[in-house]
Chains A and B, each alone.
Chain A
């Protein structure tokens, strides 16, 4: 499979289709991330387009040896928090150790627990906890990458993930108990 870095190289060489491929690969991740930050779905759609347009302008500056998703999510976050312009920060110098021990867990999902309940609980979390959880468990970013996207320290990210998950667990337990009654 062609890597993101190779696609960027093809874009720079004038291959317009390559940029479409990049959009196709990452649009869902960027869109979902924006859905959790933006005020409305419409705004998330607009910002999603803006993210890729801004990335297109930044193509010559993008370091192709680095992962693309955090870079896009950083642009998206910047656009959402500050419409005035990009405050691009160079993200992750190395690929995160993606061999996370949580992986391949879907089949063990709690029976009867619906996605909607989880998402509803997510929406009640503090925004920074929600964003950190989303970047970790949806976008698959490492602590370091999340820290750079959110412009805080890695320890803070670890704390937010821990607390976010703790609160989420509490809310889901409560919801389960109410459902049993």
Chain B
């Protein structure tokens, strides 16, 4: 073995990654070569120093285990929370909503389920949402009205107001006067389009963090006009901009066309950092989103999507916030 070869094997030898035969040859060379022996000793010292420094660097903060235990215990509660949570969040007066609010909740759940919890359901949600080409949302947050238009087309867009959509979608955010909502750099809000879906979801990665396992129920129901529909309901809790929010909602999917018929839901979620601030100050309890326009990828039978937004919903919402 030459010194060059020995140098090439030195790292793997020291790390215990060399095979028995190579090890034997390497050790044989080392014994007869003071130069390689010196090099090896120097590397040993370096690695020893490094390992000692790394292992002495830090320990997990005190209370880590307790914090994890607390969060686990909360998760267990959430896991067993049935649809009662949804009713509580939705309040007594059921709003006849369009699409979005329900989907936010459903998507939180869908995102979860996509990662192995219930692939069949995730696929069903995914399929239904893929039929949507674009959607126009109107949202009320505190005293402010926000318009959102979303499509699944763009890969990644950062608008100049600071709102950003990561992957698969784009959302432009305007205030009621069609002026871009102004946000500071610090308050950049990210809206995440999940797997090409064109409905907004506050991403776990960013300000929101799903707590526990969302409860999702899928069932077939009969509508007032006799049609059958699949109802997908979801309840989830998520930490969003420092506030624990409830997401709840349901959407109806036509079992024949697989198109989304409508949604009915509510959520307590600050959609923007300003909303988060208001919520922390106790001045905002929830945010409502209505979809008033929806465009599908294929022609749809008339009346599939009912865009009727209840009259007086803005006043109703503001009343709730008082």
Contact = CB atoms under 8 A, between A and B. Distances in A.
A48 interface: yes
Interface string A58-89: 00010000000000000000000011111000
Contacts of B61: 31, 45
Interface string B194-236: 0000000001111001000100000000000000000000000
Contact of B46 (A23, A138, A169): A169
A81 to B, nearest CB: 10
A97 interface: yes
Interface string B45-66: 1111111111111111100110
A138 B44 contact: no
Interface stretch (B11-19, B151-159, B250-258): B11-19
Chain B interface main SS type = helix
A28 B62 CA distance: 11
A168 B51 CA distance: 13
B53 A53 contact: no
Among B44, B72, B111, which residue has the most Cβ atoms of chain A within 10 A?
A: B72
A122 B54 CA distance: 9
B84 interface: no
B192 interface: yes
Contacts, number: 150
Contacts of B56: 115
Interface string A83-120: 11110000000001111111001101110010110110
A105 B69 contact: no
B311 to A, nearest CB: 39
A24 B213 CA distance: 24
Contacts of A118: 49-50, 53-54
Contact of A136 (B15, B71, B203, B206): B15
A97 B45 CA distance: 21
B67 interface: yes
Contacts of B114: 85
B44 A105 contact: yes
Contact of A122 (B14, B47, B50, B203): B50
Contacts of A97: 16-17
A110 B49 CA distance: 7
B16 A165 contact: no
Contacts of B15: 100-102, 136, 143, 161
Contacts of B17: 97, 142-143, 158
Among A45, A102, A116, which residue has the most Cβ atoms of chain B within 10 A?
A: A102
B42 to A, nearest CB: 8
Contacts of A23: 64-65, 68
B271 to A, nearest CB: 19
A106 to B, nearest CB: 5
B75 interface: yes
Interface in A130-149: 133-134, 136-138, 142-143
B154 to A, nearest CB: 18
Contacts of A122: 50, 53-54
A27 to B, nearest CB: 4
Given A31-B60, A85-B111, A109 B72 contact: no
Nearest to A120: B53
A138 B60 contact: no
Given A28-B59, A53-B68, A84-B204, A133 B45 contact: no
B206 A83 contact: yes
Given A49-B68, A102-B14, A158-B11, A134 B46 contact: no
Contacts of A83: 203-206
A109 B16 CA distance: 20
28 contacts: A19-B72, A20-B65, A24-B65, A28-B59, A31-B61, A32-B58, A49-B71, A52-B68, A57-B213, A84-B111, A85-B115, A97-B17, A99-B16, A101-B16, A102-B14, A102-B44, A102-B48, A106-B51, A110-B45, A110-B49, A118-B54, A122-B50, A136-B15, A137-B54, A138-B57, A142-B16, A161-B15, A162-B11
Given A16-B69, A115-B53, A133-B54, 14 more contacts: A28-B58, A31-B58, A49-B68, A85-B114, A99-B16, A100-B14, A101-B15, A101-B44, A105-B45, A110-B45, A115-B57, A136-B15, A138-B57, A143-B15
- 3 smallest beta-carbon distances between A and B, as pairs: A83-B205, A105-B48, A100-B16
